[in-house]
Amino acid sequence: MRARWPRGIGIVAVLLALLVSRPSLAGEEDDLQRQIETQRAGLNDLERLDDLHATTDELTLLKTWLDEAWSLRSKHEYDLVREVLDRCLGQAELIRQKIAAAKLRAQLQKRETSLREVRAKITAARKALQETTVKKKALEGANS
């Protein structure tokens, strides 16, 4: 009976260690799950921001990576999940930058169009002014 007592304590110690470490793993898994869900919500926001559809391919890639992170999380590959999530953060920033650039490009095109229209009006006004000046001189010459 004495021989079983130390072994029983060892088994209890191992079981306690497993129970204590299990919540930390579950906490880590929950934390990664929250991070993935947060990035998915950010993805939806990015899709709404991309009203010019300038980052369709990048958004698709980000969705794929988030699905990959979810799959790795369910396989308990937490280090790989963190790597994929870091990649997703970089991709999301790239998408934000491309959306901003596309909006600025669209604004530039709109202003260039307005500028061409104003220049055309100025050219037409100069031509009309020249014609009016010529007619005035012709009338003054006829009156003299």
Alpha-carbon gap, residue 86 to 25, rounded angstroms: 20
* pLDDT at residue 113 is higher than 80: yes
Residue type, 77: E
Stretch 102-121: mean pLDDT, rounded?
97
Question: How many other CB atoms are there within 10 angstroms of residue 24's CB atom?
Answer: 9
Residue 14: the pLDDT is 59
Q: pLDDT > 70: what percent of the chain?
A: 81
CB within 8 A of 102, min separation 6: which ones?
50, 52, 54, 55
pLDDT-derived band at 22 (thresholds 50, 70, 90) equals very low
For residues 82 and 119, give the distance between their C-alpha atoms in angstroms, rounded to a whole number: 55
| Between residues 109 and 20, the one the model is more confident about | 109
* Confidence band of 1 (pLDDT split at 50, 70, 90): very low
